[in-house]
Chains A and B, each alone.
Chain A
């Protein structure tokens, strides 16, 4: 690999003398490749080994592949996972896009303050969210009992449909955020032109605005799909009691906690997931192939005129309020109820068991309070480094003529295909096997690095639609005037991308605050994060302290969002 790149690198100066662009672009390519391969090679290596990598008696085998592929149960689980992932993605993207249009492009009443709630489920760890849904919508949940007492039919949360709905509400903000940031950039003249041409407001929306959202829809579809395939905690909490298995829980069962630790098997499944993702990315690049079609930032943009909904205003508003109340507010209340009580039972008046003990436990245990500080540090600093790097990756893919840029766009999406725990193990092994870097192994910066790697797809997919919407004429003009690629990136692209970069930054901070799977094998005494503390408490079954910690995490996240809005001018939840 190295030799191949070096030969290209030596050619680069011939194409553009006096410019460092090529080396920088190759540098970005190589760093991305290393970042992906670094934790991935132990997994690939493991897939052809009969024993764990640490076992010196291991030997080459293909039996991992034959064992997994000939297992009927595996194919059943795979089919179930695809149904689950496709349905979840469909729901999440439809709801997200509809909310984005309603809240940024119409005169729906109350949209200012409604938009504050939309993204909130995304701030919470999915593990905690799943428990909150049980508290409210489980077989004996508070809301379920209310409906049952009214004599109405009730639902089964522990079903594939239940898991799909919970996951969709959890990932819906991806679609919502991507669509709003695209809509915010869109040139209102396009809609205005349609109106002048005689189109009604709805027609203009449908034939101009919606097609313009296509890159955002494609990228968020891709991200939700890949994230759902990998998501462990919601199917684990809601599916296990009734034995509904998806790929992530199957891997977890067979590889991590089950009565056998089948490293070879999980490695094979990870690789199959990577193949699946490769297919999806190929599809995506086909869908946004004609990149020019989505250019909307040409010249100066003015605030778009809002679509008048007329009599539908209040109906729409009511529907959104209903959605927010059921899918967002009630689960949040479930978390708060757990956090502020010692036990929760319909047979006991909650007011008699109100307590602050759960918060006290979290804040007075040094290891737990340290984990909160660590998480904030990683989120603030790690995400800043990450987002800059991811922006450069996106610019290299869409705004350079680097021969490897297509490959780079695949590499940037792979990290999400590996199960998080596996990425953690891969990082651990890689750190252990490469001498000389042991010094940083037990610091939080290892976690920051792993988080950046793992969420490369998030940053990449959230910045890409914005890059695609900026006309290449702008950088061509600068290039003609003698600017280098890096110069264009610094003085034209990055400033234009500022809103997208800042919202990507906030997205990454929020995500880093919740991350746990990758950290499980990487954290050390003193480098605990909120996510690992949540898992530690969950293993012991401490529902109250878990919810208390989740509440603290939620407050920190809200603080970050509000601060970034005030200081940086980012609007995470509004176009």
Chain B
């Protein structure tokens, strides 16, 4: 009997022995750092952290017009970037949260312009893009040259760690200031989160969250289990959507959510199932549903599926893009960034199913933010910005806790 337990313990012991052996040196060097230090303090205290200024800049959102050394002013400089890009033999590797379908027209357009760049994309989750970069760059392995993701909190950590290669795009003056999330972090697309409903089952669809709350208030039992939205606890997009909507609507907003929250809201982690649930009638109304998952269902879904922008605040997913410090092909990455921000690039991504925002392509892009703005006004566009509060873990935790309470989870 005893032997059996021993044999069970042995592997555990072996594993821990190995663990101690492998983990020895890093532990020894970092031991003096107090565990209690907050992340922010740790960053500023870090003597090697070259990016303290960048971090400060990022914390106060995008400072427009600030000069960057990397800015390519004259065309002569730009030719140098192009020439240097030709020397980059490792290809261009992007860690993004899009899929192949979104990318395909962009890759086509970009390669027509710069045929020597071998552009490869790896499509990951909104935090994985960073986690993978950190792991790889820490050991000097080949990693992403550019990161594209919509999580503003993780972006700020990235900048604070000094991992961003700040590049001022030649398109800088052509894009609106609010889409410059930080110096060197531009927006790829601005995708709205909308209200959706099942047309046969909902005769008076809500146009605002206030409408929805009033609708529920009138007859809560009719909506039990019939409303769906993003999960703010399990999903980064869901979290940001509620965060920025509450930022605008405050306590009044919480009250409306509480009313809606009585109905056993089905909170989901992906946009597709929300639209499917609306189509089947399982959930008759959805809010904060990503429009780019709704539109591909048309025109077939026309008789069943309705959607509207949200009159009292439409969260806008801003997909930030930035070049990484450990980029093996930084010049090619600059060319891609400029292309994505150009009129052609914006139209190409709109062809791939995303929402363009550059003013001069409003008539040419398939889907454009101006269409949303026309309906609800600029004040009700709620883009995911680099809110410094998002770096405060306690505030985030408190927010999620309140969200869970509000939705009875």
Interface residues of A (CB under 8 A from B): 1, 33, 36-37, 40-41, 44-45, 48-50, 52-61, 63, 131, 134-135, 138-141, 158, 236-237, 240-243, 249, 252-253, 256-261, 274, 278, 281-282, 285-286, 342-348, 352-353, 361, 365, 367-368, 406-407, 410-411, 414, 425, 428-429, 432-433, 438, 441-442, 520-521, 523-526, 536-543
Contact = CB atoms under 8 A, between A and B. Distances in A.
Contact of B99 (A41, A135, A521, A536): A536
A53 B274 CA distance: 36
Contacts of A50: 35
Contacts of A237: 273
A432 B138 contact: yes
Contacts of B139: 54, 432-433
A144 to B, nearest CB: 9
Interface stretch (B170-178, B296-304, B373-381): B296-304
A525 B27 contact: no
Given A243-B409, A256-B127, A260-B396, A541 B290 contact: yes
16 contacts: A40-B15, A45-B23, A53-B138, A59-B35, A140-B280, A141-B280, A241-B268, A253-B234, A257-B234, A282-B4, A282-B8, A342-B300, A425-B131, A432-B138, A539-B270, A543-B276
B409 to A, nearest CB: 4
Contacts of B106: none
Interface string B1-32: 00111011011101111110011001100110
B363 interface: no
Nearest to A431: B141
Nearest to B228: A241
A374 B27 CA distance: 39
Given A428-B132, A429-B135, A348 B300 contact: yes
B46 interface: yes
Contact of A278 (B8, B104, B123, B393): B8
Contacts of B276: 134, 344, 543
The 9 closest A-B pairs by CB, nearest first: A541-B272, A525-B120, A241-B266, A432-B139, A54-B138, A541-B271, A406-B7, A345-B279, A140-B280
B312 interface: no
The listed residue with most A CB atoms (<10 A of its CB), out of B11, B33, B121, B282, is: B11
B153 A259 contact: yes
Contacts of A346: 280-281
B12 A278 contact: yes
Contacts of B135: 53-54, 425, 428-429, 432, 521
Contacts of A538: 270, 272
Nearest to A414: B11
A285 B4 contact: yes
B341 interface: no
A181 B194 CA distance: 54
The listed residue with most B CB atoms (<10 A of its CB), out of A243, A274, A344, A542, is: A243
Contacts of B110: none
B105 interface: no
Given A442-B142, A539-B99, 8 more contacts: A52-B131, A57-B30, A59-B30, A261-B131, A347-B281, A406-B3, A520-B128, A524-B122
B235 interface: yes
Interface of B: 3-5, 7-8, 10-12, 14-19, 22-23, 26-27, 30-31, 33, 35, 42, 46, 93, 97-102, 104, 120-128, 131-132, 134-139, 141-142, 153, 198, 200, 225, 228, 231-236, 239, 264, 266-277, 279-282, 290, 293, 296-297, 300-301, 303-304, 393, 396-397, 400, 409
Contacts of A40: 15
Contact of A348 (B104, B225, B236, B304): B304
A259 B273 contact: no
A33 B409 CA distance: 42
B271 A344 contact: no
Nearest to B281: A140
A261 B3 CA distance: 40
B198 to A, nearest CB: 8
A318 to B, nearest CB: 31
Contact of A541 (B16, B26, B293, B396): B293
B131 A242 contact: no
B141 A540 contact: no
A163 to B, nearest CB: 15
Given A45-B23, A282-B8, A343-B297, A57 B33 contact: yes
Contact of B231 (A36, A240, A261, A348): A240
The listed residue with most A CB atoms (<10 A of its CB), out of B15, B200, B233, is: B15
Given A60-B27, A537-B99, A541-B293, A54 B225 contact: no
B141 A441 contact: yes
A542 B104 CA distance: 16
A410 B7 contact: yes
Contacts of A57: 30, 33, 42, 46
B158 to A, nearest CB: 13
A1 B18 contact: yes
Contacts of B19: 41, 44-45
B300 A261 contact: no
A539 B97 contact: yes
Nearest to B121: A525
B267 A540 contact: no
A547 to B, nearest CB: 11
Given A348-B303, A368-B100, A428-B135, A541 B30 contact: no
B100 A367 contact: yes
B10 A407 contact: yes
Contacts of A345: 279-281, 301, 304
Contacts of B297: 342-343
Contacts of B8: 278, 281-282, 410
Contacts of A429: 135
The listed residue with most B CB atoms (<10 A of its CB), out of A241, A278, A365, A406, is: A241
